[in-house]
């Protein structure tokens, strides 16, 4: 029995050439300074807090009540893995929150602080 392929296989000597970018290059927004766990971090306007944390090299945004680290998973606000305390508000999705000048971000421990206590 012969299996038909939907597209032909490339020749063994065929070289892959990347497609050049089309249109203008992507430019980053103006730099903004925020505080993450008490430390200053420079990010760029238009980036999410999750992207700023990843660019800084530490993917963690919170720990579970059992102490297991968590971070951005889906990147579009569906999974709720990237929660952090932002400007005093616990359980804020970092992938859905844009950075802004003077923002305070704390990596959330467990279920986070109880507001008003």
In the chain, where are the structural domains located? 31-109
> Residue 81's pLDDT band (boundaries 50, 70, 90)?
very high
Spatial separation of the C-alpha atoms in residues 34 and 58, rounded to whole Å:
15
Spatial separation of the C-alpha atoms in residues 31 and 11, rounded to whole Å:
47
Spatial separation of the C-alpha atoms in residues 73 and 78, rounded to whole Å:
9
Cβ(44)–Cβ(99) below 8 Å? yes
Mean pLDDT of 30-50: 96
pTM (two decimals): 0.74
Predicted confidence (pLDDT) at residue 92 exceeds the cutoff of 80: yes
Token pair in block for residue 26: 């992507």
User: Which CATH number among 3.20.20.70, 3.90.1150.10, 3.40.190.10, 3.10.20.440 corresponds to the domain 31-109?
Assistant: 3.10.20.440
Spatial separation of the C-alpha atoms in residues 90 and 88, rounded to whole Å:
6
Predicted confidence (pLDDT) at residue 96 exceeds the cutoff of 70: yes
């Amino acid at each position: 029995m012969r299996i038909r392929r939907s597209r032909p296989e490339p020749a063994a000597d065929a070289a892959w050439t990347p497609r050049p970018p089309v249109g203008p290059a992507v430019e980053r927004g103006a730099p903004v300074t925020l505080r993450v766990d008490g430390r200053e971090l420079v990010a760029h306007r238009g980036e999410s807090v999750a992207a700023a944390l990843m660019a800084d090299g530490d993917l963690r945004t919170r720990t579970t009540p059992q102490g297991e680290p968590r971070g951005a998973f889906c990147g579009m606000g569906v999974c709720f893995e990237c929660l952090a305390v932002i400007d005093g508000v616990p359980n804020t999705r970092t992938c859905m929150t844009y950075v802004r000048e003077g923002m305070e971000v704390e990596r959330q421990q467990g279920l986070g602080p109880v507001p008003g206590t």
